[in-house]
Structure 1
Amino acid sequence: MPELSRFLGIIIYMHFNEHNPPHFHAEYNEHKAAIAIKTLGLLEGRLPARVMSLVVEWAQEHQDELLSNWNSISETGEHRKINPLV
């Protein structure tokens, strides 16, 4: 599971051979969630409200990079790190 970014105790990653729609995973302490890249909506799991808002803020800034990573990981298994929020 490639780690894409890490900030403020939040870990952002994607899995290999993942199902559609394109999404990423966020983990904060014991909380985990899957978030759609295009809509930034919650697909499954739960994050504390403040953490979710930080993840969405970060994802808005990096939507193109997230989608590029989704395609690259799906096709070749390669990924690129994405700058953290802070």
Structure 2
Amino acid sequence: MPVISRFYGIMIRMYLIDREHPPRHIHIKYAEYEAVMELDNLNIIDGRIPKKCRELVREWAELHQDELIEMWDTQNFHPIAPLE
């Protein structure tokens, strides 16, 4: 699973579509926590992460939402700048 970005100890990944399922989403890993965030509405749809981590990932995803959706649709994975 390609790593899309890393910041503040958070790792954002996206699976290849042939191993995945709708809706469009990203996988979030932070310490022992894991969650899945839907890309269309940026809600957590599986797992759990601390509130501050969720807020940081949501802020980052809002900045890159169109790029993330295009990446899911085209399967053209590339790194995205971390949140600073």
TM-score (norm 1): 0.91
Q: Over aligned residue pairs, what C-alpha RMSD do you find?
A: 0.8
Aligned length: 82
State the partner residue of 1:3: 3
Instruction: Encode CA deviations 1:41-86: one digit per residue, 9 max, x unaligned.
Output: 111000000000000000000001110110122xxxx311111001
Runs of 4+ in 1 over 3 A off after TM superposition: none
Map 1:7-22 to 2 at 5 A.
7-16=7-16, 17=18, 18-22=20-24
Unaligned runs of 5+ in 1: none
Residue in 1 aligned with 2:74? 72
Identity %: 43
Listed as ranges, the gaps of 5+ residues in structure 2 are none
Q: Secondary structure at the match of 2:61?
A: helix
With normalisation by structure 2, the TM-score equals: 0.93
Other structure's SS at 2:55 match: helix
